């Protein structure tokens, strides 16, 4: 396949995923038909099925697209600025900059995982990647001396992911919710969790 044809196919796939995302946010997974996605993407059913065979394959494509984007965010992390500066930039981007459509799609996916084992599998794989990326980032922060070496990384990563999910749910459900104001609070919580168990025990005894 020539580079031009490959790029054309890649662009068309991206257009279909964007169209499907709009449909899923507007109507939900169950209510959205492949015909609706075709209409939104302005293409025939036969042409769309050349790229995606089902709604599940489209959802998998959206997940892979988002996984690649988030993976690039972690890969670009410049720890020369300090771990907490990097985390604050990520929090600002994912809490406040990402579009309402992306946020609503994420909550739609989270809801669907309770009913659809395949979507649950896709979501779990994505979560596992994010968990690994966070853990690797924190290990690099330990090597730099930005955070304590005795931090419970698994617990910290779990709580950060819970907070991120909660912020996105607030954005999806609460009109006018200002996620930007949550970034400083998030950073206070993050610094507290990453201070280390020895420091925490010492502070507890002195209080």
Range of the domain at 63: 56-206
Long-range Cβ contact pairs of 192-195 (< 8 A, separation 24 or more): 193/151, 193/155, 193/156, 193/159, 193/160, 194/138, 194/141, 194/147, 194/148, 194/151, 194/156, 195/147, 195/148, 195/151
Closest CA to 48 of 61, 35, 59: 35
Indicate whether 47 and 66 sit together in one domain.
Answer: no
The 3-state DSSP class for residue 1 equals coil
Of 137, 13, 116, nearest to 64 by C-alpha is 13
Both 47 and 64 in one domain: the answer is: no
Nearest to 187, CA basis, from 94, 70, 84, 78: 84
In the block, tokens 């044809």 appear at 5
Ordered per-residue pLDDT tens for the chain, 207 residues? 566 666 788 889 999 999 999 999 999 888 899 999 999 999 999 999 999 999 889 988 998 888 899 999 999 999 999 999 999 999 999 999 998 998 988 888 888 888 888 888 888 999 999 999 999 999 999 999 999 999 999 999 999 999 999 999 999 999 899 999 999 999 999 999 998 766 544 444 433
Among residues 44, 162, 41, 179, the alpha carbon closest in space to that of 99 is found at: 179
Based on the domain organization, do 104 and 165 belong to the same domain?
yes
- Say yes or no: 44 and 75 in one domain: no
Whether residues 60 and 49 fall in one domain:
no
């Amino acid at each position: 396949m020539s580079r031009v044809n490959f790029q054309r196919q890649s662009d068309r796939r991206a257009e279909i995923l964007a169209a499907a995302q709009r449909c899923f946010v507007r109507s939900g997974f169950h209510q959205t038909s492949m015909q609706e996605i075709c209409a939104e993407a302005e293409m025939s059913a036969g042409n769309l099925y050349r790229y995606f065979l089902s709604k599940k394959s489209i959802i998998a494509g959206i997940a892979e697209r988002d996984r690649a984007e988030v993976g690039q965010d972690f890969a670009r992390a410049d720890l020369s600025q300090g771990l907490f500066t990097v985390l604050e930039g990520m929090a600002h981007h994912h809490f406040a900059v990402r579009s309402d459509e992306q946020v609503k799609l994420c909550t739609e996916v989270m809801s669907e995982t309770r009913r659809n084992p395949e979507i649950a599998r896709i979501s779990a794989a994505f979560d596992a990647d994010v968990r690994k990326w966070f853990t690797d980032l924190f290990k690099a922060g330990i090597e730099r001396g930005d955070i304590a070496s005795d931090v419970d990384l698994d617990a910290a990563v779990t709580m950060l992911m819970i907070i991120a999910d909660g912020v996105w749910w607030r954005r999806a459900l609460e009109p006018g919710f200002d996620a930007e104001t949550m970034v400083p609070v998030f950073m206070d919580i993050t610094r507290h969790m990453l201070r280390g168990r020895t420091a925490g025990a010492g502070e507890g005894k002195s209080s």
